[in-house]
């Protein structure tokens, strides 16, 4: 909302009964949670709205957006067996509605598998992420797994840190899309410095997509966002042990 406005967010319950017409054709009868986010912004043009979930599609100027935000949201919702709907009117605003199947706490606990999280042995990991909150969470997560952590907010700062501590760094964990220097350019620069460097790329874009697989075919590993402790622990542990 470049000119300001009002943003509203709310959660409600939806009981979809057998025989009722669902908001989305594939929605099954049962209990759903509806998460609604509305703004009074400029709205989305009709010829744009049909492309908003496509990776790298953006109407913003260069440097202002990557076109991955809504693609990541769409992917996360689908991972949780949900649906996402959007309604927009130019110069009046936009509303997104996310439908997620309701799960009770008892079901969640009973379905959670017992797992042993793989821990490190004091190895040093350089984490590169431009979102400060995500960077802090990753730092806490990895330190809890017994790793030493160095952090950087973009590729250029990461290279400076690597040049200083390269003998100690066992692995670089980097986001793919960042200002200054992104993850792929950082990976290429690190490879020039050390052909044996281990680099794991974090991304919200499916690595199965053809464009992404070409970009990431030489990295040591890929972590899809949203990041989950068990998966981060497993991927990092396997690579450091030489099984990645």
DSSP assignment of 65-84, as one string?
Answer: --S-HHHHHHHHHHHTT-EE
Whole-number pLDDT of residue 211: 47
Looking at the structure, give the CATH architecture of the domain made up of residues 124-240: 3-Layer(aba) Sandwich (3.40)
CA 145 to each of CA 87, 98, 141, 169, 193: distance values in angstroms, whole numbers, following the listed order: 43, 33, 7, 16, 28
What are the residue ranges spanned by the domains of the chain?
7-110, 124-240
Least trusted range by pLDDT, from 132-136, 170-174, 236-240: 132-136
pTM reported for the whole predicted model: 0.58
Beta bridge partners of 97: 36, 85
pLDDT digits (tens, 9 = 90+) for 64-95: 665 667 877 887 888 788 999 999 999 999 99
- Strand ordering across the sheet containing 30-39: 7-16, 30-39, 93-101, 83-89
Cα radius of gyration rounded to whole Å, the chain: 21
Residues linked to residue 31 through DSSP beta bridges, in sequence order:
15
Task: Look at the domain 7-110 and name its fold.
Answer: Heat Shock Protein 90 (3.30.565)
Other CB atoms within a 10 A radius of the CB of residue 109 amount to 8
Quick one: average pLDDT of 181-198?
A: 91
**What is the model's pLDDT at position 30?**
93
Look up residue 82 and give its two tokens: 């949900």
pLDDT over threshold 60, residue 100:
yes
To the nearest 10 degrees (0 to 180), the angle between helices 183-193 and 155-165 is 20
Strands 199-203 and 169-175: parallel
- Is 44 a residue whose pLDDT tops 80? yes
Structure tokens at 142: 């990895």
């Amino acid at each position: 909302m470049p000119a300001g406005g009002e943003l509203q967010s709310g959660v409600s319950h939806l009981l979809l009964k057998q025989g009722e017409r669902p908001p989305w054709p594939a929605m099954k009868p049962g209990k759903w949670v509806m998460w609604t986010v509305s703004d009074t912004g400029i709205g989305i043009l009709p010829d744009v709205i049909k492309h908003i979930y496509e990776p790298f599609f953006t109407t913003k100027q260069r440097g202002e957006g990557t076109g991955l935000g809504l693609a990541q949201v769409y992917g996360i919702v689908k991972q949780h067996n949900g649906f996402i709907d959007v309604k927009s009117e130019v110069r009046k605003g936009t509303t997104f509605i996310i439908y997620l199947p309701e799960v009770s706490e008892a079901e969640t606990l009973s379905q959670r598998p017992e797992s042993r999280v793989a821990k490190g042995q004091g190895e040093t990991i350089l984490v590169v992420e431009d979102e400060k909150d995500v960077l802090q969470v990753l730092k806490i997560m990895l330190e809890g797994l017994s790793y030493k952590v160095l952090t950087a907010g973009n590729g250029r700062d990461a290279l400076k840190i690597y040049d200083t501590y390269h003998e100690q760094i066992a692995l670089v964990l980097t986001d793919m899309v960042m200002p200054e220097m992104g993850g792929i350019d950082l990976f290429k620069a690190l490879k020039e410095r050390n052909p044996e460097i281990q680099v794991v790329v974090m991304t919200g874009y499916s690595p199965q997509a053809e464009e992404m697989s070409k970009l990431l075919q030489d990295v040591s590993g890929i972590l899809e966002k949203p990041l989950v402790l068990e998966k981060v622990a497993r991927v990092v542990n396997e690579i450091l042990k030489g099984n990645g």
